[in-house]
Chain A
Amino acid sequence: MSDTMKHPRHWRSLDELSTASLDAATAAGSEMAAAQTLDGAAELTVDGVSRRQFIALMGASTALAGVGLEGCVRKPVEHILPFAHRPENMVPGRPIYYASTWQLGTSVAGVVVESQDGRPTKVEGNPEHPASRGPASTFAQASVFGFYDPERSRTPMRGDAPATWDQAWATFDEALAPVRAAGGEGLALVVDTVMSPTHRAQLAELSRTMPKARIFVSDRLWPAEAFAGAAMVGGPKALAVPSLAGAKVIVALDGDVLVSEGDALRHARDFAAGRAVDVPKPDMNRLYAIGPVFDATAAMADHRLRVRASEVGTVLRALVATLLDTPGVDAGSAGGLKAALGTPALDDKQAAFVKALARDMVARKGQAVVLTGHRQPAWVHALAHLANTLVGADGKTVTWRRDADRVEGQTLAELKAGLDDGSIKSVVVIGANPAYDAPGELKLAASLAKAGFIAHAGLYRDETGALAHLHMPLSHYLEAWGDLSTLAGEQSVVQPLIAPLYGSPSPIELTARLLTGQPAKGLDLVRATWTRASGGGLDERAWRRWLHSGLIDAPAPGGSVTPSYAQLGANIPAPAAAPAGYEVVFTLDSRVLDGRFANNGWLQELPDTITKLTWDNAALVSAKTAGELGVVPGQMVKVGAGSGSVELPVWVAPGVAERTVVLPLGFGRKNLGSVAEGAGFDVYPLTTHGSPWLAAGASVAAGVGSYELATTQTHDRLEPGFDFPARPLVREATISHYEEEPRFVEAAELMPPDDIRSPFQQPALTGAQQWGMTIDLNACTGCNACTMACNAENNIVVVGKARVLKGREMHWIRIDRYYVGDDPDEPQAVVQPVNCQQCETAPCETVCPVAATTHSPEGLNDMAYNRCVGTRYCSNNCPFKVRRFNFFNYNLDIDAVAQMQKNPDVTLRFRGVMEKCTYCTQRISEARIAAKVAGSDVIADGVIQTACQQTCPTNAIVFGDLRDPQSRVSQLKASPRNYVLLRELNVQPRTSYLARIRNPNPELV
């Protein structure tokens, strides 16, 4: 036996062993084998061998086989647990949905998470949550990918050595117990934006129990300037919560307020609702965008004033001054402010813009609102509040409240000072990453190295984690209990979908450990908070209701605020001449934000709405500025600002202000993960503590060499070139033109519709329901949420930068962006989501030699992946180029953790097959089954929502049955704005578009 153990052999049957037992089999082994064989043979040849004997023989053989295998091949241990006690409502293979809440900076929105056999696979918005009302943002959609990121931190690390959780907690407690005993002496707690009532209460308790501990907020998404601006006029912790519901004149001051900033999800829906034109007596809102960056909001604007970031305040001064001078405007407490505003120097265009805007705002008193981007300084925010007050927005489009339990924290400059002078000895970082995203000027990483003990908890072992003496993985929101409050005060519960993958604590659990030195369970902490809030007794029924609906029906604490502008004058700096030289504007990247999503492949590969860049950031400049600098797109430029200098490629972005360089943050991360590695350039070294979003007087010069940037679309306009006329792909009109000529979309057709005839009789589509879609270009902001939702729903792969460069990205729904206008630096832009148009006479179907793509009776253009041989002829013949080919086996070797994200209802595609949008055919099937079970052949309107439709923040996408004249999609298709792409080809697409309507101010036309 022992010899067998030393010389293990692989064999499958006794025969094999006995015939091949010449070399290694020991005498003992041979004897055993022979005995078994003989025994068995003797028994089996006898008639009437009993079942029992047979089983015994089998068992012995198997046992012997086990002996032979011992020590060489070890099968993985699998625990198969029978559903002897099946969890309630759990049907294997059927998803269950749980309400939870998603936070990104101060933006909090309810979500509903799909759980497939215990795995969260898809995030959708919570229709009952007022900040969501159905959609989930691009980032929330992508959060499942981040959750299953195989490169998330999995084990605690003591220095560079992995540790067990017991060791990690021992280290944590050992280091912090003395600190706790000393009342927090020398302790710095660094947190990100805290919007959780429980966490806020814990931090308040920390300040009580450890009065000497210092709390710092390190988060680029923390709108410090906005808070300071509100505090200037409303007192400490005052908050102005704007709402676009009912707003008719909307001014976006240097902020992407509809897509990536703050409560964009909420604003986008209200904004789109206010643009409805196919209603009786349409009263469309009007959007003015003022600022240096041409972002999605600027592309949506009816009027855009392109000014440098430092001039935004100047324009606002002029606007407020004009409003104060307007008869009928009650200056109120701002009566004496006129002098502080000075006389802003505006050029003619700006002056005319301000005049018209002021008149428009006054005319729409109570329906006008100014939204200020987080990049602008506090006084601009305060002045914008004044503008709102002057036009009667308070109480209507702006609600003031006091965010009473907000934890303000100290600044990172104070953290640095404390570290440098030794007064801070222990640092606990929860969810923040100051070593990377603190202003570069502070060189905080060097200061952190002086701390005696750093404990870091984060999703990744990031730059701060690498410095830390103890790094601990932090729980993702999909695996942790918590609670959240929106800025407006709506509160909700965060409930986990799965036990922590790596045994990690949540932020509140970690804070509790810091407070007490004892382990605590997130659920208990959250329930304790709400037990306290309910006055001591938590009603179990209420708790269950909150979990079910995802919303706590109790108001957040706070108080009313009435802004006063009497003291504002002192805070407004003296008007200064526009600074010469280059300005650098730092923006949160539209995909990785401040860098927190840098290792999320879905987001890295998502094209920016306007630049269409993937996988990288670049210095965005206007065409004129690029000309001044003498650089071409892709060429390296050297940007010097603050105390640093960075070399990165330049990209010409029409619409950026002159002598302005826009630098998206969040790239160039090192040692974070394979996705983030090598993606883009870190521009944090250029940022300063005093002015974290703007660097005036920067130096910009052409650098050495060039860099290949991957875009999914080049600088396309609708004019194809060579003086050919614009292609009528995106159709638009002004509201007045639309009223005069409602069928203006038809005028753009290349062929008169009556001339379009088919020489063939098309086979009838016999399905009882015929699916179709409309996409409202008047609502679409190009936010990319649809693309991301489709990624999650349809298991769409990430292919990487090299393949995007080759033009092989796999998105099933893409956002086409076209510039409009003649001046490359004063463009307008339109966006157009394009998915498979599900043509009734689909050109792809006729050319497929193996009939892999065919038409369903319900009008869908189906793809049979099993049948596809990959001739790519269908893609060639697709006029919309929406088909995507698997050039390689992208689904080979998916990490075991990453596999868990895949939607089991959708096939993973093998290499060599074509794929494309299916109108979420799996959702149609699911609804059909449910309808049939309920005894109906017809699926009611609205039951099926495609993934893109469901998450569209502006309700731009509507899907439904075309045969039912009452369905929403049928009614939208009856709109005079309805048109299809390339009608002259007579492919009869099922996806149609509703033309965009602009609402220009007649004074500015």
Chain B
Amino acid sequence: MAQRLEMDPVSGRAPLVLGATSFDELTKAVAAPMERTDWRKWWVAFGVSVSLLGLLLVSVSWLVWEGIGIWGLNNPVGWGWAIVNFVFWVGIGHAGTLISAILFLFRQSWRTSINRSAEAMTIFAVMCALIFPGIHVGRIWMAYYLFPIPNQMSMWPNFRSPLLWDVFAVSTYFTVSLLFWFVGLIPDLATMRDRATTKARKIGYGIFSLGWRGSHRHWQHYEIAYLILAGLATPLVLSVHTIVSFDFAVSQLPGWHTTIFPPYFVAGAIFSGFGMVLTLLIPARVIFDLEHIITVKHLENMAKIILLTGSLVGYSYAMEFFIAWYSGNPNESFAFVNRMFGPYAWAYWIMVSCNVITPQLIWFRRVRQSPLILFILSIFVNIGMWFERFVITVTSLANDFLPSSWGYFRPTIWDLTTFLGSFGLFFTMFCLFVRFLPLVALAEVKSVQPEADPHYDPEAGGVARGDLEGATLAAPEVTHA
């Protein structure tokens, strides 16, 4: 194999793909997970995931049959785990589009190694999220009332309700994310079609690669479409969680009725999304031998984003308290003191520990560069962000204005199975994804290889003379594919 490049000969920065991999080797490395013959481990993972998905189906069926009462909800706590899970999954669904759209517009070429799987994660997370608002309503069979469908009652939904905004925001986000992901997949699907050895694969990939032949015209259209979708997706990344936060902020409940919610929710969403990307990719890069493509450098970059957004979230917690005190509103102040020291203090401190305290370890380089520690941290982030939504949703409802109506929410076994089941859906989709679709955006990774640069000249030490005068190249010998 080729010698290790310490620096990208064209950009003069550390290389994004280690090991001076050729295009061919890249293609083989990315296609390997899909083309392996031994699927036993995959079947185990898939079996576990599908079992959990079955649990979801059972839970939801029982829910529809029996009623929302199988959950632990009560009066005053009208929203419990369903809404917590919804916000949790929507939040996770933020990282992918952020990576592929916003980082794309900012020309962050390191995104190419992780954007495909992050986007897939986004789509699966939003699918999980979409289940909950659907099933948490009391009369599921009437849920279509939420959509502006012309009907004999001449009845529109109530456009003043944030729940309705949610319907539009999340469905738009899901549609655009799916399209964006699919457009990005087309060149890679064509690669897979060309590599296909079975008829089924040939037809399957053939249909979805839309006749891609890699012509200049194709590339031109592709680049424009991708750019437009990136432009469309970028505001959606910010708007979805802003609108989800309106579910709470637009109400008048102490602890919900807060103007800081939109930015705070977006920061939290990105935080949780990157947490989940790390949770998925740290094992995946090992399992699928992609450590040279998804490098420690990538993990480090994501960790930095986690540190930034985690600190933003911590700042928001502090600012909520400050405003509660500064407003002089006793109901508001009580709501926040009650969060810290009231009946749900345990949940609050889990949230603070996982979201504010542990991410601060990322300041240490050794932590940032240790995949194992980052993996553990990412699990904490996931737990912490779930509890953040729990704290916001449940503590505010449980103790509001009239002490006489205060209550305490206890989940039931069905709350738990529905939540676990949503992980079943998520991992089932992810298993199918790794089996049938390239885990890494192959075309894009290739495009950021030194070889993709028109100025690349292996004879001249890697780069065309005169373009990068004085650049020091540690390893002039590059094997050409």
Given the known A-B contacts A869-B143, A876-B397, are A718 and B403 also in contact in the complex, defined by CB atoms under 8 Å?
yes
Known: A867-B145, A876-B251. A806 touches B162 (CB 8 A): no
Within 8 A of B (CB), among A688-721: 713-714, 716-718, 720-721
Chain A nearest CB from B228 CB (Å) reads: 31
Q: Return chain B residues, CB-CB under 8 Å to A832.
A: 404
Which chain A positions have C-beta within 8 A of B23? none
Cα–Cα distance between A816 and B404 once the two chains are bound (Å): 6
Residues of B contacting A867 in the complex (Cβ-Cβ under 8 angstroms): 145, 155
> In the complex, how many angstroms separate the beta carbon of B116 from the nearest chain A beta carbon?
35
Cβ–Cβ contact B67 & A888, under 8 A:
yes
Q: A902 vs B72: C-alpha distance in the bound complex, in angstroms?
A: 29
B404 neighbours in A (Cβ, 8 Å): 713, 716, 814, 816-818, 832, 834
Q: Across the interface, do A851 and B342 meet the contact criterion of CB distance under 8 Å?
A: no
A713-B404, A720-B403, A724-B330 given; A846·B138 CB < 8 A: no
Interface of A is mostly: loop
Which of B74, B79, B251, B338 is in CB contact (< 8 Å) with A721?
B338
Chain A residues with Cβ under 8 A from B158's Cβ?
846, 848-851
State whether the Cβ of A884 lies closer than 8 Å to any Cβ in chain B: yes
The one of A871, A881, A910 that contacts B136, using a Cβ cutoff of 8 Å: A871
- State whether A869 and B139 are in contact (beta carbons under 8 Å apart), knowing that A721-B338, A875-B78, A880-B402 are contacts in the complex: yes
User: A910's contact among B139, B161, B250, by CB below 8 Å, is which?
Assistant: B139
* Whole-angstrom distance between the Cβ of A653 and the nearest chain B Cβ: 17
Min distance, Cβ A797 to any Cβ of chain B, angstroms: 12
Contact B75 A834 (CB under 8 A): no
Of B77, B137, B138, B342, which is in contact with the most chain A CB atoms at under 10 Å from its CB?
B138
A727 in contact with B403 (CB, 8 Å): yes
Whether B78 lies near A876 (C-beta < 8 A) is yes
Assess whether B97 is interfacial by the CB under 8 Å rule.
Answer: no
CB distance from B264 to the nearest CB of A (A): 19
A744 smallest CB distance to B (angstroms): 19
* 8 A Cβ contacts from A810-851 to B: 814, 816-818, 832, 834, 843, 846-851
Per-position contact with A for B128-146: 1 when CB-CB < 8 Å, else 0? 0000000011111011011
Q: How far is the CA of A534 from the CA of B158 in the complex (A)?
A: 68
A128 to B76, CA, bound (A): 42
Residue-wise interface mask of A (533-569) relative to B, using a CB-CB cutoff of 8 A (1 in contact, 0 not)? 0000000000000000000000000000000000000
Given A725-B330, A847-B161, A851-B158, are A818 and B253 neighbors across the interface (CB < 8 Å)?
no
Q: Determine which of A729, A847, A886, A985 lies in contact with B138 in the assembled complex, contact meaning CB atoms within 8 Å.
A: A886
Q: Which residue from chain A places its CB closest to the CB of B398 in the assembled complex?
A: A807
- A792-808 contact mask (Cβ, 8 Å, vs B): 1 or 0: 00000000000100111
Cross-interface CB contact of A724 among B73, B250, B333, B408, cutoff 8 Å: B333
- CB pair B73–A872 under 8 Å, yes or no, is yes
Count of A interface residues, CB-CB < 8 Å: 61
Closest residue of chain B to A722 (Cβ to Cβ) is B337
Given known contacts A724-B333, A870-B138, A873-B163, A912 and B401 CB-to-CB distance under 8 angstroms: no
Check: A1000 CB closer than 8 A to any chain B CB: no
Which B residues from 334 to 354 make CB contacts under 8 A with A?
334, 337-338, 341-342
The answer to whether A880 and B253 touch (CB under 8 A), given A807-B407, A847-B163, A886-B138, is no
- Is the Cβ of B137 less than 8 Å from the Cβ of A871? yes
Contact residues in B for A883 (Cβ distance below 8 Å): 75
B363 at the interface (CB under 8 A from A): no
A889 interfacial by beta-carbon distance below 8 Å? yes
**Alpha-carbon separation in the docked complex, A629 to B481 (Å):** 87
What is the CB-to-nearest-CB distance from A887 to chain B, in angstroms, rounded to a whole number? 3
Question: In the complex the two chains form, what is the Cα distance from A883 to B69 in whole Å?
Answer: 16
B156 adjacent to chain A (CB < 8 Å): yes
Q: A870-B68, A911-B67 are in contact. Are A717 and B403 (CB under 8 A)?
A: yes
Q: Does A58 contact B (CB under 8 A)?
A: no
- Nearest residue, chain B, Cβ from A716: B403
Question: Which A859-874 residues have C-beta < 8 A from chain B?
Answer: 867-873
User: Given A720-B399, A720-B403, A721-B342: A849 and B251 within 8 A (CB)?
Assistant: no
A-B contacts, 26 listed (Cβ < 8 Å) = A724-B330, A727-B331, A806-B410, A807-B74, A807-B407, A814-B404, A846-B160, A847-B251, A849-B145, A849-B146, A849-B163, A850-B157, A851-B157, A851-B158, A871-B163, A873-B78, A873-B247, A876-B78, A876-B251, A881-B76, A881-B405, A883-B75, A887-B67, A887-B73, A912-B138, A912-B139
Q: A817-B404, A869-B146 are in contact. List 18 more A-B contacts (CB 8 A).
A: A716-B403, A750-B330, A809-B75, A818-B404, A832-B404, A843-B252, A847-B251, A850-B145, A870-B139, A873-B161, A873-B163, A875-B75, A877-B253, A881-B76, A883-B75, A887-B67, A887-B73, A985-B252
Chain A residues with CB under 8 Å of chain B are: 713-714, 716-718, 720-722, 724-725, 727, 729, 750, 803, 806-809, 814, 816-818, 832, 834, 843, 846-851, 867-873, 875-877, 879-881, 883-889, 910-914, 981-982, 984-985, 987
Residues of B within 8 A of A (CB): 66-69, 72-79, 136-140, 142-143, 145-146, 155-158, 160-164, 167, 247, 250-253, 329-331, 333-334, 337-338, 341-342, 397, 399-408, 410
